[in-house]
Amino acid sequence: MYTITKIGQLKTTIPLFLLMSLLIFILLIYKFIIYQRQMKRKLFETGSQIEINEQQLMITNQTGGKMILPLEKLTKVKESNKWFFLYFQENTFIPISKDAIHSLDLFGQYIKGTKSKKLIWKPMVILFVLITIIGLYFVGNNAVNFNGALAWKINEWKTDTKVKLKNDNFYQTKLTGIIDSVKSKIKLEPYLMTNDLEIKFAKDGTITSIETYIYGYDKNKKLQSGYLVYYDKTKSNKLTVHKQDWNGDGTTKYEQDNDLSIVIKMLNSIPVEDEVKQWNEDNLAVMYKGIRSWGYNTNGIQFIGENGKIRIPSSITAEIIGPTISLYVPGKENMITPKRYVFK
Protein backbone atom coordinates (compact mmCIF):
# COMPACT_ATOMS: atom_id res chain seq x y z
CA MET A 1 0.00 0.00 0.00
CA TYR A 2 2.90 2.34 0.72
CA THR A 3 4.39 1.67 -2.72
CA ILE A 4 1.05 2.19 -4.46
CA THR A 5 0.42 5.50 -2.66
CA LYS A 6 4.02 6.69 -3.07
CA ILE A 7 4.85 6.05 -6.73
CA GLY A 8 1.57 4.91 -8.25
CA GLN A 9 2.40 2.72 -11.26
CA LEU A 10 -0.85 0.84 -10.71
CA LYS A 11 -0.33 -1.57 -13.62
CA THR A 12 2.72 -2.97 -11.79
CA THR A 13 2.01 -2.47 -8.10
CA ILE A 14 -1.63 -3.56 -7.92
CA PRO A 15 -1.02 -7.02 -9.50
CA LEU A 16 1.96 -7.44 -7.15
CA PHE A 17 -0.17 -6.36 -4.18
CA LEU A 18 -2.97 -8.76 -5.15
CA LEU A 19 -0.49 -11.62 -5.63
CA MET A 20 1.02 -11.04 -2.18
CA SER A 21 -2.47 -10.84 -0.64
CA LEU A 22 -3.47 -14.09 -2.35
CA LEU A 23 -0.35 -15.88 -1.08
CA ILE A 24 -0.98 -14.67 2.48
CA PHE A 25 -4.63 -15.71 2.24
CA ILE A 26 -3.67 -19.20 0.99
CA LEU A 27 -1.14 -19.53 3.84
CA LEU A 28 -3.75 -18.56 6.44
CA ILE A 29 -6.26 -21.03 4.99
CA TYR A 30 -3.61 -23.76 5.05
CA LYS A 31 -2.71 -23.05 8.68
CA PHE A 32 -6.36 -22.98 9.65
CA ILE A 33 -7.07 -26.32 7.97
CA ILE A 34 -4.05 -27.94 9.64
CA TYR A 35 -5.10 -26.54 13.01
CA GLN A 36 -8.67 -27.81 12.56
CA ARG A 37 -7.45 -31.27 11.60
CA GLN A 38 -5.18 -31.43 14.62
CA MET A 39 -7.90 -30.27 16.98
CA LYS A 40 -10.44 -32.72 15.59
CA ARG A 41 -7.96 -35.59 15.70
CA LYS A 42 -6.94 -35.36 19.35
CA LEU A 43 -9.50 -33.46 21.40
CA PHE A 44 -10.49 -35.13 24.63
CA GLU A 45 -13.55 -34.84 26.75
CA THR A 46 -13.49 -32.99 30.05
CA GLY A 47 -12.84 -35.48 32.81
CA SER A 48 -10.40 -37.67 30.88
CA GLN A 49 -7.75 -39.22 33.07
CA ILE A 50 -4.16 -38.37 32.25
CA GLU A 51 -1.27 -40.53 33.43
CA ILE A 52 2.33 -39.78 32.67
CA ASN A 53 5.65 -41.32 33.56
CA GLU A 54 9.16 -41.13 32.23
CA GLN A 55 8.33 -43.28 29.19
CA GLN A 56 4.80 -42.47 28.08
CA LEU A 57 1.66 -40.42 28.24
CA MET A 58 -1.62 -42.31 28.65
CA ILE A 59 -5.05 -40.72 28.32
CA THR A 60 -8.16 -42.59 29.40
CA ASN A 61 -11.54 -41.10 28.53
CA GLN A 62 -14.80 -41.59 30.39
CA THR A 63 -15.82 -44.56 28.23
CA GLY A 64 -12.64 -46.44 29.03
CA GLY A 65 -10.85 -45.79 25.76
CA LYS A 66 -7.09 -45.36 26.09
CA MET A 67 -4.40 -43.71 24.06
CA ILE A 68 -0.72 -44.28 24.79
CA LEU A 69 1.93 -41.98 23.33
CA PRO A 70 5.66 -42.55 23.96
CA LEU A 71 7.36 -39.42 25.27
CA GLU A 72 10.34 -40.16 23.07
CA LYS A 73 8.15 -39.06 20.13
CA LEU A 74 7.31 -35.76 21.79
CA THR A 75 8.83 -33.06 19.54
CA LYS A 76 7.78 -29.79 21.18
CA VAL A 77 5.56 -28.28 23.83
CA LYS A 78 3.72 -24.98 23.85
CA GLU A 79 2.20 -23.53 26.95
CA SER A 80 -0.48 -20.95 27.69
CA ASN A 81 -2.05 -19.88 30.96
CA LYS A 82 -4.54 -22.79 30.98
CA TRP A 83 -3.21 -25.30 28.47
CA PHE A 84 -0.29 -27.47 27.43
CA PHE A 85 -0.05 -28.21 23.72
CA LEU A 86 1.97 -31.36 23.06
CA TYR A 87 3.22 -32.05 19.56
CA PHE A 88 4.24 -35.61 18.71
CA GLN A 89 5.66 -37.11 15.58
CA GLU A 90 3.31 -37.94 12.69
CA ASN A 91 1.44 -34.64 13.20
CA THR A 92 -0.19 -35.78 16.44
CA PHE A 93 -1.35 -32.81 18.47
CA ILE A 94 -2.57 -33.12 22.11
CA PRO A 95 -4.16 -30.14 23.93
CA ILE A 96 -4.18 -30.82 27.69
CA SER A 97 -5.94 -28.59 30.20
CA LYS A 98 -3.84 -27.79 33.24
CA ASP A 99 -6.94 -28.42 35.33
CA ALA A 100 -6.84 -32.09 34.29
CA ILE A 101 -3.28 -32.57 35.58
CA HIS A 102 -2.93 -33.65 39.22
CA SER A 103 0.66 -32.45 39.64
CA LEU A 104 1.97 -29.72 37.37
CA ASP A 105 5.46 -30.02 38.82
CA LEU A 106 5.66 -33.73 38.12
CA PHE A 107 4.18 -33.25 34.65
CA GLY A 108 6.76 -30.54 33.97
CA GLN A 109 9.61 -32.87 35.02
CA TYR A 110 8.52 -35.57 32.59
CA ILE A 111 8.33 -33.22 29.61
CA LYS A 112 11.45 -31.30 30.64
CA GLY A 113 14.14 -31.42 27.99
CA THR A 114 11.59 -31.24 25.19
CA LYS A 115 11.74 -28.02 23.20
CA SER A 116 9.22 -25.81 24.95
CA LYS A 117 8.12 -22.21 24.53
CA LYS A 118 5.42 -19.92 25.79
CA LEU A 119 2.65 -18.83 23.46
CA ILE A 120 3.07 -15.15 22.66
CA TRP A 121 -0.31 -14.20 21.20
CA LYS A 122 -0.60 -10.90 23.04
CA PRO A 123 2.84 -9.56 22.06
CA MET A 124 2.20 -10.70 18.49
CA VAL A 125 -1.11 -8.85 18.39
CA ILE A 126 0.53 -5.73 19.81
CA LEU A 127 3.34 -6.00 17.25
CA PHE A 128 0.81 -6.45 14.42
CA VAL A 129 -1.19 -3.39 15.54
CA LEU A 130 2.00 -1.34 15.94
CA ILE A 131 3.24 -2.20 12.45
CA THR A 132 -0.21 -1.44 11.02
CA ILE A 133 -0.29 1.98 12.71
CA ILE A 134 3.19 2.82 11.41
CA GLY A 135 2.17 1.66 7.92
CA LEU A 136 -0.98 3.78 8.03
CA TYR A 137 1.10 6.78 9.05
CA PHE A 138 3.38 6.46 6.03
CA VAL A 139 0.44 5.80 3.69
CA GLY A 140 -1.34 8.85 5.12
CA ASN A 141 1.82 10.91 4.67
CA ASN A 142 1.74 10.06 0.96
CA ALA A 143 -1.73 11.61 0.79
CA VAL A 144 -0.71 15.14 1.86
CA ASN A 145 1.54 17.96 0.63
CA PHE A 146 2.13 16.22 -2.73
CA ASN A 147 4.40 13.70 -0.99
CA GLY A 148 3.24 10.84 -3.17
CA ALA A 149 1.10 9.68 -6.05
CA LEU A 150 -1.94 9.48 -3.76
CA ALA A 151 -1.66 13.18 -2.89
CA TRP A 152 -1.59 14.09 -6.57
CA LYS A 153 -4.59 11.83 -7.19
CA ILE A 154 -6.55 13.45 -4.36
CA ASN A 155 -5.72 16.88 -5.77
CA GLU A 156 -6.92 15.68 -9.16
CA TRP A 157 -10.22 14.52 -7.63
CA LYS A 158 -10.64 17.93 -6.01
CA THR A 159 -9.72 20.08 -9.01
CA ASP A 160 -10.55 18.05 -12.13
CA THR A 161 -13.96 17.79 -13.76
CA LYS A 162 -14.81 15.34 -16.53
CA VAL A 163 -17.05 16.79 -19.25
CA LYS A 164 -18.82 14.91 -22.01
CA LEU A 165 -18.58 16.67 -25.38
CA LYS A 166 -22.08 17.30 -26.68
CA ASN A 167 -20.78 17.10 -30.24
CA ASP A 168 -17.29 15.91 -31.18
CA ASN A 169 -17.47 17.10 -34.80
CA PHE A 170 -15.39 20.25 -35.05
CA TYR A 171 -16.97 21.41 -38.30
CA GLN A 172 -20.33 21.59 -36.53
CA THR A 173 -19.53 22.44 -32.92
CA LYS A 174 -16.52 24.78 -33.38
CA LEU A 175 -15.19 26.32 -30.15
CA THR A 176 -18.70 27.41 -29.16
CA GLY A 177 -19.84 23.84 -28.57
CA ILE A 178 -16.73 22.98 -26.55
CA ILE A 179 -17.19 25.97 -24.21
CA ASP A 180 -20.91 25.23 -23.89
CA SER A 181 -20.04 21.66 -22.82
CA VAL A 182 -17.70 23.04 -20.14
CA LYS A 183 -20.34 25.51 -18.95
CA SER A 184 -22.81 22.68 -18.48
CA LYS A 185 -20.60 21.39 -15.63
CA ILE A 186 -18.67 24.45 -14.41
CA LYS A 187 -19.75 28.03 -13.78
CA LEU A 188 -17.28 30.26 -15.60
CA GLU A 189 -16.45 33.91 -14.88
CA PRO A 190 -18.03 36.72 -16.98
CA TYR A 191 -14.73 37.57 -18.69
CA LEU A 192 -12.68 34.80 -20.28
CA MET A 193 -9.33 35.11 -22.03
CA THR A 194 -6.89 32.77 -23.73
CA ASN A 195 -3.64 32.97 -25.63
CA ASP A 196 -3.10 29.25 -25.95
CA LEU A 197 -5.46 27.00 -27.89
CA GLU A 198 -4.93 23.98 -30.15
CA ILE A 199 -7.61 21.66 -31.49
CA LYS A 200 -6.74 18.68 -33.67
CA PHE A 201 -9.31 16.87 -35.76
CA ALA A 202 -9.65 14.23 -38.46
CA LYS A 203 -10.65 14.73 -42.09
CA ASP A 204 -14.29 14.00 -41.25
CA GLY A 205 -14.23 16.63 -38.49
CA THR A 206 -13.96 14.27 -35.49
CA ILE A 207 -12.03 16.04 -32.71
CA THR A 208 -8.99 13.99 -31.68
CA SER A 209 -7.40 16.32 -29.12
CA ILE A 210 -7.92 19.64 -27.35
CA GLU A 211 -5.40 21.66 -25.38
CA THR A 212 -6.14 25.13 -24.05
CA TYR A 213 -5.73 27.32 -20.98
CA ILE A 214 -8.50 29.79 -20.22
CA TYR A 215 -8.26 32.65 -17.72
CA GLY A 216 -11.41 33.59 -15.83
CA TYR A 217 -11.92 37.19 -14.64
CA ASP A 218 -14.69 38.59 -12.45
CA LYS A 219 -16.79 41.68 -13.27
CA ASN A 220 -13.89 43.86 -12.02
CA LYS A 221 -11.56 42.02 -14.40
CA LYS A 222 -9.51 40.47 -11.61
CA LEU A 223 -8.15 37.00 -12.25
CA GLN A 224 -10.12 34.47 -10.20
CA SER A 225 -9.54 31.11 -11.89
CA GLY A 226 -7.56 29.30 -14.55
CA TYR A 227 -8.91 26.36 -16.52
CA LEU A 228 -6.63 23.85 -18.20
CA VAL A 229 -8.84 22.03 -20.70
CA TYR A 230 -7.48 18.94 -22.42
CA TYR A 231 -8.88 16.01 -24.35
CA ASP A 232 -7.40 12.94 -25.99
CA LYS A 233 -9.84 10.76 -27.88
CA THR A 234 -7.50 7.76 -27.68
CA LYS A 235 -7.62 7.83 -23.86
CA SER A 236 -11.13 8.99 -23.01
CA ASN A 237 -14.37 10.14 -24.55
CA LYS A 238 -14.55 13.01 -22.05
CA LEU A 239 -12.50 16.18 -21.84
CA THR A 240 -10.87 17.13 -18.54
CA VAL A 241 -11.10 20.58 -16.97
CA HIS A 242 -8.44 21.26 -14.33
CA LYS A 243 -9.35 24.32 -12.27
CA GLN A 244 -6.72 26.51 -10.67
CA ASP A 245 -7.89 29.07 -8.11
CA TRP A 246 -6.21 32.51 -8.20
CA ASN A 247 -8.73 34.38 -6.01
CA GLY A 248 -7.80 37.76 -7.47
CA ASP A 249 -4.06 37.31 -6.82
CA GLY A 250 -3.02 36.20 -10.33
CA THR A 251 -0.50 38.33 -12.22
CA THR A 252 -1.87 37.78 -15.74
CA LYS A 253 -3.77 40.92 -16.73
CA TYR A 254 -6.93 40.92 -18.77
CA GLU A 255 -6.43 41.91 -22.43
CA GLN A 256 -9.56 42.76 -24.35
CA ASP A 257 -7.95 41.82 -27.67
CA ASN A 258 -7.37 38.30 -26.30
CA ASP A 259 -10.92 37.84 -25.07
CA LEU A 260 -12.24 34.36 -25.75
CA SER A 261 -15.25 35.79 -27.52
CA ILE A 262 -12.95 37.03 -30.31
CA VAL A 263 -11.55 33.52 -30.86
CA ILE A 264 -15.08 32.08 -30.88
CA LYS A 265 -16.24 34.72 -33.39
CA MET A 266 -13.26 34.06 -35.66
CA LEU A 267 -13.75 30.27 -35.67
CA ASN A 268 -17.45 30.73 -36.36
CA SER A 269 -16.52 32.84 -39.41
CA ILE A 270 -13.92 30.47 -40.89
CA PRO A 271 -15.38 27.80 -43.23
CA VAL A 272 -12.96 25.20 -41.87
CA GLU A 273 -14.44 22.20 -43.69
CA ASP A 274 -14.26 23.89 -47.10
CA GLU A 275 -10.79 25.31 -46.45
CA VAL A 276 -9.17 21.93 -45.67
CA LYS A 277 -10.71 19.98 -48.56
CA GLN A 278 -7.99 21.08 -50.95
CA TRP A 279 -5.34 19.53 -48.69
CA ASN A 280 -7.01 16.10 -48.50
CA GLU A 281 -5.11 15.25 -45.31
CA ASP A 282 -6.19 12.88 -42.54
CA ASN A 283 -4.95 14.99 -39.62
CA LEU A 284 -5.70 18.70 -39.30
CA ALA A 285 -5.54 21.37 -36.61
CA VAL A 286 -6.34 24.94 -35.64
CA MET A 287 -4.15 26.94 -33.28
CA TYR A 288 -4.47 30.25 -31.48
CA LYS A 289 -1.48 31.84 -29.73
CA GLY A 290 -2.87 35.27 -29.03
CA ILE A 291 -1.85 38.50 -30.75
CA ARG A 292 0.86 37.86 -33.32
CA SER A 293 2.88 40.00 -35.69
CA TRP A 294 3.41 38.92 -39.33
CA GLY A 295 5.31 41.97 -40.52
CA TYR A 296 4.49 42.73 -44.13
CA ASN A 297 4.38 39.11 -45.29
CA THR A 298 0.95 38.31 -46.74
CA ASN A 299 1.71 34.66 -47.59
CA GLY A 300 -1.28 32.63 -46.35
CA ILE A 301 -2.74 35.68 -44.57
CA GLN A 302 -6.46 36.47 -44.57
CA PHE A 303 -8.30 39.15 -42.62
CA ILE A 304 -11.47 38.63 -40.62
CA GLY A 305 -13.50 41.76 -39.95
CA GLU A 306 -15.77 42.37 -36.97
CA ASN A 307 -18.72 41.50 -39.20
CA GLY A 308 -17.20 38.05 -39.80
CA LYS A 309 -16.35 38.63 -43.46
CA ILE A 310 -13.04 37.23 -44.73
CA ARG A 311 -10.86 39.02 -47.28
CA ILE A 312 -7.39 38.52 -48.70
CA PRO A 313 -5.19 41.61 -48.31
CA SER A 314 -4.36 43.23 -51.64
CA SER A 315 -1.82 45.81 -50.55
CA ILE A 316 -0.14 46.33 -47.19
CA THR A 317 0.91 49.71 -45.88
CA ALA A 318 1.24 48.77 -42.21
CA GLU A 319 2.54 45.83 -40.18
CA ILE A 320 0.12 42.90 -40.00
CA ILE A 321 -0.61 42.32 -36.31
CA GLY A 322 -3.58 41.05 -34.36
CA PRO A 323 -5.29 37.99 -32.88
CA THR A 324 -4.46 35.11 -35.25
CA ILE A 325 -5.90 31.67 -35.85
CA SER A 326 -3.79 29.24 -37.85
CA LEU A 327 -5.31 26.37 -39.82
CA TYR A 328 -2.64 23.80 -40.68
CA VAL A 329 -1.58 20.18 -41.19
CA PRO A 330 0.40 18.99 -38.11
CA GLY A 331 3.93 17.94 -39.02
CA LYS A 332 3.69 19.35 -42.55
CA GLU A 333 3.88 23.08 -41.88
CA ASN A 334 6.97 23.40 -44.11
CA MET A 335 5.35 21.53 -47.02
CA ILE A 336 1.80 22.90 -46.80
CA THR A 337 1.55 26.60 -46.03
CA PRO A 338 -0.79 27.16 -43.09
CA LYS A 339 -3.72 29.53 -43.49
CA ARG A 340 -3.50 32.52 -41.11
CA TYR A 341 -6.64 34.39 -40.15
CA VAL A 342 -5.97 37.76 -38.53
CA PHE A 343 -8.75 39.64 -36.75
CA LYS A 344 -8.87 43.25 -37.95
Judgement on whether residues 107 and 233 belong to the same structural domain of the protein: no
CA atoms within 13 A on the CB side of 239: 29
Q: How many domains is the chain partitioned into structurally?
A: 2
- 162 & 291 share domain: yes
Is residue 196 located within the same domain as residue 258? yes
Q: How far is CA 107 from the centre of its chain?
A: 60
- What per-residue confidence (pLDDT) applies to 114? 61
Mean pLDDT of successive 10-residue segments in the chain (344 residues)? 80 84 93 71 57 79 77 81 79 74 72 59 84 91 82 79 93 95 94 96 96 95 94 92 88 92 95 94 96 89 91 84 95 93 92
- In sequence order, what DSSP letters do the residues of 282-325 get, joined into one string? SEEEEEEEEEEEEET--TTEEEE-TTS-EE--S--SS-EEEEEE
Would residue 74 count as lying in a domain? yes
Based on the fold, state whether residues 215 and 336 are members of the same structural domain.
yes
Residue 48 pLDDT = 65
- Between CA 288 and CA 196 the distance in angstroms is 6
Based on the domain organization, do 111 and 193 belong to the same domain?
no
The per-residue pLDDT for 10 is 75
Q: Cβ(270)–Cβ(341) under 8 Å?
A: yes
**222, part of any domain:** yes
In this structure, are 274 and 188 located in the same domain? yes
> What confidence score (pLDDT) does residue 117 get?
52
**Pairing state of beta strands 115-118 and 74-79?**
parallel
pLDDT recorded at residue 158: 79
CA 50 to CA 33: how far, in whole Å?
A: 27
Residue after which a domain boundary falls, among 121, 145, 168: 121
Are 190 and 269 found together in one domain? yes
Q: Which residues, 6 or more positions from 220, have their beta carbon under 8 angstroms from its beta carbon?
A: none
Q: Check residue 43 and give its pLDDT.
A: 47
Same domain, 246 and 198: yes
Q: What is the pTM of this model?
A: 0.63
Question: Does residue 169 share a domain with residue 83?
Answer: no
Nearest to 226 by CA among 260, 181, 262: 260
**Residue 44 falls in which region: left (phi positive, over 0), alpha (psi -120 to 50) or beta:** beta
Is residue 242 assigned to a domain? yes
Domain that holds residue 52: 42-121
Is 338 a domain residue?
yes
Q: Give pairs for 109-116: CB < 8 Å, separation 24+.
A: 110/52, 110/53, 110/54, 110/71, 111/71, 111/74, 111/77, 111/84, 111/86, 114/71, 114/74, 114/75, 114/76, 114/77, 115/75, 115/76, 115/77, 116/76, 116/77, 116/78, 116/79
CATH assignment of the domain containing 56: 2.30.29.30
Same-domain status, 84 and 195: no
Q: How far apart are CA 41 and CA 275, in angstroms?
A: 87
**Is 89 within a domain?**
yes
Q: Is residue 24 part of a domain?
A: no
Query: How many Cβ atoms sit within 10 Å of the Cβ of residue 215?
Result: 25
Q: Does some domain include residue 37?
A: no
Q: How far apart are CA 292 and CA 249, in angstroms?
A: 27
Measured in degrees and rounded to the nearest 5, phi and psi for residue 202 equal -85, 175
Of 121, 138, 170, which closes a domain?
121
Interior angle at CA 179, CA 197 and CA 243, nearest 5? 75
- Scanning the chain, the segments in alpha helix (DSSP H) are 2-7, 10-41, 104-111, 121-141, 149-159, 170-183, 260-269, 272-277
Q: How far apart are CA 101 and CA 85, in angstroms?
A: 13
Last residue of a domain, one of 121, 141, 172: 121
| Number of C-beta neighbours around residue 122 at 10 A | 8
140 part of a folded domain = no
Three-class SS of residue 121? helix
Is the same domain home to 243 and 296? yes
DSSP annotation of 91 reads T
DSSP assignment of 66-90 equals EEEEEGGGEEEEEE-SSEEEEEETT
Same domain, 167 and 100: no
What are the Cα distances from residue 228, in Å, to 52, 118, 162, 343? 82, 63, 12, 24
